[in-house]
Structure 1
């Protein structure tokens, strides 16, 4: 029989293999039980001990609520559309046309009514004016001579040298000569007017928007196209596309705020015309909003508008009270049982004063002002009323 020799206290004590194995087994079992007991003790400690029983009711969160009542708020209509000159004036050739010799303005220039924008070559017309002016002088000389002959004849008629018939003849000659003077003067004035129309002039005071002509270009009356475009007095407008239902609420002189796309600047405007027709395809009409001149208002650009169409009564809530999800806008209200309920709402004008709610609530409810994202329908809460402000 094999023995394992081990010194424990007395060197003479010898422990066999079987007894050694049993000792180690008991040691392992005891250690495992101890570990389990420690784990159980720790779990009980974290749970508050065996004497700590769960509370009868969970902790109820306190939420701030408001009963906003009804406030006077502006009714507004949102729209988008393009910017344009309020009175867009195309400028072209009204004379005979010809080769452009000078262009005197650039886009962005302000011009007065009648100011020359460009000139057309006029050498032939200038010579025609000189010819007609000379013919006028000839006719004036003839009229002067006819008048002198008539005056001499009248001096001799009393002495019997000139008959009454001769006086009549000389009077007719004088009248004819004076008529020829008037004809020549009219022809000269006509040619001068024609020549003057070779100058391309501004039809009214305003802002030059575009220029499509250069020196050396040949232009023709009626076929030269638009050489310049102007905005009369620099006045601009937004042609807002408005839904059919909203169009019925708009009137001339309604105020509006215009925001050009890509800009944070806002400009005050006023509706000056509401379209009497609606596009049958888009079911939209145009509200034309007049805007004073500003370099940021560029015709052809795009803008959004907020048009004030009147005022009415509606609950006014803080922005934090209104939540949004895939179903739309909603608020949480606290019912008589102090439970949270979801209420879908329709949102109107948003301003510094708050969010106007045009549908879904009456304003008498207790509406959660904040922390709505952490609540759930049916949850028990403790409401704390706050005055609407």
Structure 2
């Protein structure tokens, strides 16, 4: 009886423990519900996001094509010997500027002078034979008219005169060839330009197949720059060129740190490279200061056209995503809305908006990382799109931009 009594006496303590556990669990649930409700209220009550904004303005935007170009000389001539012989003299200094026709090198001409003397002697012999044959033909003609010689003898003499005349012509051709060889012995510059390093020293025996030749001459000025443009941009270029426009081309250093020279487009290739989908263009430069060096890599910017009085916004304002190209438009109630636009050419700092935005509307330019459609904002600073952060003058009001400093393609 005592054991049963102890067992039953423990039941109230066990029921009390279960009740305490239930109360603790209930308190935890209440705390979780309160936390969720207060957290949702805090979330919905977040302060407006601080952003920077700019006002879209009207201005002029250059349509630029940028590409990597190579300085390609108008003429690069590898001077090769036209005949064989010992090189006896070199008449230039390495790196010297030469004029067309200036003496470059001399091949020993003595063998060719001897050949010419032999040809002249053969010519004199054949000319004497021709004179004798013509004298005989004159006598045979008189006898033929008197019927004093056979017809065959008269005919044979006419053929003899014709053969001797041909021999004289051949001798004169040989002499002309010898004179040409003597001219080839005296090597002159075929074009004006700058000679490179000497390739063959005097005393060497050169032939027509001597490689790499005597010297290389490169025309320094004027010069050209060769570059490519994508096929999608070719239509606008052809339209302007066919209309007679002289498209300005500017060459910059390989690191885009400075402008080197300005020129104009003058030639387009007649085929498109199927492997790259590009077309090769060539621009000419006066290069009076020789700032463009042959085979140098340069950055090329060609002004195709200029959009007049178009809507301009800072380039960071234009975003790309699921809606396509868009901007965050600042509404009157200090909220933003996603606004689809059609961007045009850009000069790096500003972008032209072809459609979807009007001048005077405000767009977000900074602080848009956590923005969404309808979000509340607070504009920290609003400035016109045409005014740069460094105090540059606005591009609107008919002011034109300097296309020479553009950094992107259309």
TM-score greater than 0.5 by the shorter chain = yes
Call closer, same or farther: CA 1:326–1:150 in 2, change over 3 Å. Answer: closer
Q: Residue 345 of structure 2 is aligned with which of 348, 352, 364?
A: 348
Q: Deviations over 1:228-271 (max 9, x none)?
A: 44456944222224445445654356432122437533312215
Q: Deviations over 1:38-97 (max 9, x none)?
A: xxxxxxxxxxxxxxxxxxxxxxx9x9964414x45332111112211244443323x222
Which position in structure 2 is the counterpart of 1:118? 105
Q: Residue 288 of structure 1 is aligned with which of 268, 281, 285?
A: 281
Q: Deviations over 1:172-198 (max 9, x none)?
A: 554444333222212222232334334
| Structure 2 length-normalised TM | 0.59
Structure 1 distance, partners of 2:279, 2:73, is: 15
- Once the two structures are TM-superposed, the CA of residue 366 in structure 1 deviates from its matched residue by 2.8
Call closer, same or farther: CA 1:309–1:108 in 2, change over 3 Å. Answer: farther
State the Cα RMSD in Å: 4.8
Structure 1 distance, partners of 2:329, 2:383, is: 12
Structure 1 distance, partners of 2:362, 2:203, is: 74
Are the aligned partners of 1:333 and 1:368 in contact in 2 as well (CA < 8 Å)?
yes
Structure 1 distance, partners of 2:109, 2:150, is: 51
Q: Residue 68 of structure 1 is aligned with which of 38, 51, 57?
A: 57
- Once the two structures are TM-superposed, the CA of residue 299 in structure 1 deviates from its matched residue by 1.1
1:197 aligns with 2:184: yes
Structure 2 distance, partners of 1:288, 1:200, is: 35
Q: Deviations over 1:122-165 (max 9, x none)?
A: 221111111111221222223234444555x3698599897466
Are the aligned partners of 2:194 and 2:220 in contact in 1 as well (CA < 8 Å)?
no
Which position in structure 2 is the counterpart of 1:143? 130
Call closer, same or farther: CA 1:288–1:103 in 2, change over 3 Å. Answer: farther
- Once the two structures are TM-superposed, the CA of residue 296 in structure 1 deviates from its matched residue by 0.9
Which position in structure 1 is the counterpart of 2:174? 187
Call closer, same or farther: CA 1:275–1:178 in 2, change over 3 Å. Answer: closer
Which position in structure 1 is the counterpart of 2:405? none
Structure 2 distance, partners of 1:358, 1:227, is: 59
Are the aligned partners of 1:254 and 1:307 in contact in 2 as well (CA < 8 Å)?
yes
> Whose Rg is larger?
1
Q: Deviations over 1:181-216 (max 9, x none)?
A: 22221222223233433444544x442453533333
Which position in structure 2 is the counterpart of 1:380? 378
Q: Residue 85 of structure 1 is aligned with which of 61, 73, 84?
A: 73
Aligned length: 316
Matched residue of 1:130: which SS?
Answer: helix
Structure 2 distance, partners of 1:86, 1:355, is: 37
Structure 2 distance, partners of 1:161, 1:278, is: 81
Structure 1 distance, partners of 2:353, 2:213, is: 50
Matched residue of 1:79: which SS?
Answer: strand
Call closer, same or farther: CA 1:385–1:147 in 2, change over 3 Å. Answer: closer
Structure 1 distance, partners of 2:136, 2:301, is: 83
1:255 aligns with 2:245: no
Unmatched segments (≥5 aa) in structure 1: 1-60
Matched residue of 2:131: which SS?
Answer: helix
Call closer, same or farther: CA 1:323–1:160 in 2, change over 3 Å. Answer: closer
Structure 1 distance, partners of 2:300, 2:350, is: 18
Are the aligned partners of 1:208 and 1:228 in contact in 2 as well (CA < 8 Å)?
no
Are the aligned partners of 1:271 and 1:287 in contact in 2 as well (CA < 8 Å)?
no
Structure 2 distance, partners of 1:118, 1:222, is: 17
Which position in structure 2 is the counterpart of 1:217? 204
Higher helix share: 2
Call closer, same or farther: CA 1:311–1:83 in 2, change over 3 Å. Answer: same
| Structure 1 length-normalised TM | 0.62
Q: Deviations over 1:306-364 (max 9, x none)?
A: 122334464235xxx5558999999885421245789899683439xx73434796233
Call closer, same or farther: CA 1:208–1:168 in 2, change over 3 Å. Answer: same
Q: Residue 207 of structure 1 is aligned with which of 181, 190, 193?
A: 193
Call closer, same or farther: CA 1:168–1:347 in 2, change over 3 Å. Answer: closer
